[in-house]
Amino acid sequence: MSVHRFYVSPTQITKDTIHIGESERHYLLNVLRLKAGECVQVFDGEGNSYIATLCDTRVPSLYASILRHQFHPPTPPYITLFQGLPKFDKMDLIVQKATEVGVNQIVPMNCQRSIPKHTEVAQKNRLARWQRIANEAAKQCERTRFAKVHNVQPMAECLTRMGTFDLSILLWENEEKQGIKAVLRNHAQAKSIGLFVGPEGGFSDVEVEHAIQSGCVPATLGPTILRTETAAIVSVALVMYELGNA
């Protein structure tokens, strides 16, 4: 018999008990028809999983008693996607699918050819939306960890983080010497990867030069020109395929 699985915030978990929020309470009691004493599996999105039994279901606040705790440490490759801001709602798709494939962090990036320009309030709202999408995607594919979506940052600022990665790759359609497969196989021991994907129209020549000078390795995804959302998803999948353990 399968154990029902759901997520709660780490702030709802103490040493012995888990507080179950109203939406999860409704789902467990009114949709699944679970009773007191039945087991559930709980994840916090930060690598912790718990087997717990439901307490008294007749009271307004529902709790579960923890029977077993397991910590799932992160495993390489650790992928950070620096995504040039695309038009419209394409970022929603990128966040969703990149999370499903295995990205760890997503940094929306303002580039010279990025068209979206938003106020501080609008950016805050979009960030909250992207994080919700990432969380839901992680739940859907049963990841034990949520991908982190960061604030929108200028590309120049993103390039200052180069030293935190074993390998940083600039996806550039004009690269003629090496494809991403060759780059990854030449860095087979890399654990942390930074992927730089441009917006519609790609990176400018100045941005490419700056990225290479900062330590990015330019690579192509092949002879065809991919949409920015496609390039992001494909590149994350290729890193997982080449450097992951699956």
**Do 64 and 161 lie in a common domain?**
no
Using left for φ > 0, alpha for ψ between -120 and 50, and beta otherwise, residue 60 falls in alpha
**Do 239 and 122 lie in a common domain?**
yes
What is d(CA 84, CA 86) in angstroms, rounded to the nearest whole number?
6
**Do 63 and 174 lie in a common domain?**
no
**Do 156 and 67 lie in a common domain?**
no
Domain-ending residue, one of 48, 71, 94: 71
Query: pLDDT digits over 114-173, tens only?
Result: 886 666 667 778 999 999 999 999 989 989 999 999 999 999 999 999 889 999 999 999
Q: Is this structure's pTM higher than 0.95?
A: no
pLDDT at residue 233 in the model: 97
**Do 116 and 237 lie in a common domain?**
yes
Question: What CATH number is attached to the domain comprising 18?
Answer: 2.40.240.20
Domain-ending residue, one of 56, 71, 86: 71
Q: Provide the domain limits for residue 40.
A: 4-71
Question: What CATH number is attached to the domain comprising 155?
Answer: 3.40.1280.10
Domain tally for the chain?
Answer: 2
Domain-ending residue, one of 47, 71, 95: 71
Scan for tokens 């004009």, then name that residue.
174
**Do 55 and 152 lie in a common domain?**
no
Query: pLDDT digits over 53-90, tens only?
Result: 999 999 889 999 999 999 999 899 999 999 999 988 89
User: Do the bridges between strand 17-20 and strand 62-71 make them parallel or antiparallel, or are there none, so unpaired?
Assistant: antiparallel
**Do 132 and 232 lie in a common domain?**
yes
**Do 57 and 111 lie in a common domain?**
no
What is d(CA 93, CA 99) in angstroms, rounded to the nearest whole number?
10
**Do 203 and 219 lie in a common domain?**
yes
